[in-house]
A and B are shown apart, each in its own frame.
Chain A
């Protein structure tokens, strides 16, 4: 493995992304929404709503693990609302950020590269297929994870500041599991999906649209929680992370097999 070549691919892709508005906009807007607006909004919502009829809050609290429920019941009603929303109900949605960042960069770096007819210039260099693949993977996953982790840190600090509640309720164990384990996994899964989609679809926009379907399970989990079906505790969060990592591993292996010079040229 020639790391100089891998680093060159990462550097090139990140330089290009920094100067591409269609890629950069979601990379800025989504973290602002999910890591800043969401905790601030839910924190303020709890504070201003103050009292919520028990009948509305009770199903949500009842779905919490017993230990968390006991701690939660010691809080003010407004704080209870904020904690349930930030730490549990909307927690899976923060995974959308690394997913969106990884897929946007990967789509630009794979399908976009072909669309701009710049891929062949890379293929005629001595770089090996596995080095090019790794460079593309790192260029998409590293920013996704860094943005996800830094954003989560900001989100936790803001959440604590706005609600006045600290650990283990905010951030909660399932939230921390989703951030620590889930974010790298979902970024890899998104990237793997883009590699597979890019092998069949030509343009950046088409790849972005198709990879957007990956957000559906996360939204589904959120809807299921809102309807009182379940609420993610640390066991469910861990199980979710394992599933995501396994899927990412499988999809990336399949993507790597497709990532061959000849196959890339056929599409180019």
Chain B
């Protein structure tokens, strides 16, 4: 029977560890084919959420459904359809990549007749074929994470849960892993990506759920969040270098917050709505200032995140 509801449905989910409230009633859902980012700093509740989704932990309140199933009851069936990569790749370094994949193919009930072929294909796809019979202890961090990704695809899962998959990697290896994730998206897999790398989330995710201290602060497509939350754009105006101070005076008289940047002749105007840009330029030109260029930078996910964080801190 094909399940056509949300792949993951989390509703007022709660979980405590002793006196600590790790999740305080979070709700979100992930639909088929989506990549959803679970954002937050360490301790925000990302890993706990993933563990609850997999049925490794029992909720203390609320519900979670994966493929319409309850993880604490049907954890085995959920895990059969889910591939997981943790922050630590969790590879026994004493085994070779091929041995390790053979063990996990058995654990994921991959039929013996297709194992060799599937393992060879994954090793090839993840650029590990030539080192497949070398012990994992000799691998770089990037190779290990690629092997962990290959392992999580052994049973051709519909859902991928990736917990900080690039956290311990150098930029080149992280880029490679992101490309591999993007390929999985093209294959139509559903992905829940826990990360505190905002740039990664912005590039890869269709939607993000921002968690802070076990609560959902906001959720939505990364590009829409800034507008929805009223996080303003930043405008940089390039003027004649000798006229920077005059320009700052003019803007101050108009009640705008502006400052000179370290780059010669450039002024950064904060808290400026996009529609006000022509008016600002007209004012400067009207005051006799030579304006050479205007650069409008839409707020990034990082800006949104920082703005949200500051608001929470103020509360």
Identify which of B21-29, B82-90, B201-209 touches chain A: B82-90
Query: Measured between C-beta atoms, what is the minimum distance from A1 to chain B in Å?
Result: 12
A122 to B100, CA, bound (A): 11
CB contacts under 8 Å to B, within A115-152, are: 116-128
B57 x A265 contact (CB < 8 A): yes
Judge whether A15 and B95 touch: CB under 8 Å.
yes
Give the B interface residue count (CB, 8 A). Answer: 36
Q: Which of A5-13, A98-106, A173-181 contacts B (4 or more CB under 8 A)?
A: A5-13
The secondary-structure label for the interface of chain A is helix
Given A8-B107, A19-B135, A117 contacting B95 (CB threshold 8 A) = no
Could you mark each residue 135-174 of chain B with 1 if its beta carbon is under 8 Å from any beta carbon of chain A, else 0?
1000000000000100100000000010000000000000
Q: Do the beta carbons of B91 and A121 come within 8 Å of each other?
A: yes
Q: In the bound complex, what is the Cα–Cα distance between A7 and B106 (angstroms)?
A: 8
Residue B240 lies at the interface, judged by CB distance under 8 Å to chain A? no
Query: Contact flags (1/0) for B29-61 with A, using CB distance below 8 Å?
Result: 000000000000000000000010011111000
Q: How far is the CA of A12 from the CA of B151 in the complex (A)?
A: 15
Known A118-B91, A118-B92; contact A261-B80, beta-carbon cutoff 8 A: no
A121 partner, pick from B86, B109, B112, beta carbons under 8 A: B86
The verdict on B79 contacting chain A, using a C-beta distance below 8 Å, is yes
Q: How far is the CA of A12 from the CA of B99 in the complex (A)?
A: 8
A7 vs B161: C-alpha distance when bound (angstroms): 26
A126: contacting residue among B94, B108, B151, CB under 8 A: B108
> Knowing that A118-B92, A120-B86, A124-B54 are A-B contacts, what are 7 other residue pairs whose CB atoms are under 8 Å apart, sorted by A's residue number?
A4-B106, A19-B95, A19-B135, A116-B92, A121-B89, A124-B84, A262-B58
Taking Cβ atoms with an 8 Å cutoff, the residues of B that contact A are 51, 54-58, 75-77, 79-80, 82, 84, 86, 88-95, 99-100, 102-104, 106-109, 112, 135, 148, 151, 161
Q: List 16 A-B contacts (CB under 8 A).
A: A5-B106, A11-B103, A12-B95, A12-B103, A15-B94, A16-B92, A117-B88, A117-B90, A121-B86, A123-B56, A124-B86, A125-B79, A125-B104, A125-B107, A126-B76, A262-B58
